[in-house]
Amino acid sequence: MRGAEHSNDRIPFLDFGGMHDPLKEAFMDSLSQFLDTKWYVLGNAVRQFESAYAQFIGQQHSVGVSSGMAALHLALRAAGIGPGDEVIVPANTYIATWLAVSYVGAKLVPVDPDPVTGNFSAELVARALTPASRAIIPVHLYGMPCPMDELMALADRHQLWVIEDNAQAHGATVGIRRTGSFGHLNAHSFYPTKVLGALGEAGAITTDDHELADQLCILRNYGQRKRYENEVIGYNYRLDEIQATFLNVKMHHLANWIAERRQLANTYHQGLQDLEGLRLPPVIPGLNHVYHLYVIHSDQRDELQQWLSEKKIETIVHYPKPPHRQSAYAQDNWPERAFPVANRLAATCLSLPLYIGMPASHQMRVIEAIQAFWKRRN
Q: Which positions lie near ligand PLP, rule CB under 6 A? A: 67-69, 93-94, 96-97, 139, 165, 167-168, 189, 191, 203
Measured from the CB atom, the residue of 243 and 267 that comes closer to ligand PLP is: 243
Which is closer to ligand PLP, CB of 219 or CB of 272?
Answer: 219
Helix 210-219 and helix 68-78: axis angle, to 10°? Answer: 120
- Closest CB to ligand PLP among 68 and 147? 68
Is residue 162 helix, strand or coil? strand
Nearer to ligand PLP, 63 or 370 (CB): 63
The answer to whether 205 and 186 are in contact (CB under 8 A) is yes
- Kindly state the smallest distance separating residue 299's Cβ from ligand PLP, in Å: 25
Cα separation of 358 and 6, whole Å? 14
Q: How far is the CB of 372 from ligand PLP (least distance, A)?
A: 32
- The minimum distance between CB 270 and ligand PLP, in angstroms, equals 27
Q: Closest separation between CB of residue 192 and ligand PLP, Å?
A: 9
Residue 109 and residue 156 in contact, taking contact as beta carbons nearer than 8 Å: no
Query: Nearest residue to ligand PLP, using CB?
Result: 68
141 vs 92: CA distance, rounded Å: 8
State the nearest-atom distance from the C-beta of 286 to ligand PLP, in Å: 22
The bridge status of strand 133-136 relative to strand 173-174 is unpaired
Q: Which is nearer to ligand PLP, 65 or 272 (CB)?
A: 65
CB of 205 to ligand PLP, least distance (A): 12
Nearer to ligand PLP, 89 or 370 (CB): 89
Please state at what angle helix 68-78 crosses helix 95-103, rounded to 10 degrees.
40
Task: Give whole-number Cα distances, 340 to 324, 332, 346, 347, in Å.
Answer: 11, 17, 10, 10
Distances, alpha carbon 139 to alpha carbons 16, 180, 360, in Å = 25, 10, 31
Nearest distance, CB of residue 67 and ligand PLP, angstroms: 3
Residue nearer to ligand PLP on the CB measure, 187 or 308: 187
Question: What span, in angstroms and rounded, lies between the C-alpha atoms of 79 and 345?
Answer: 31
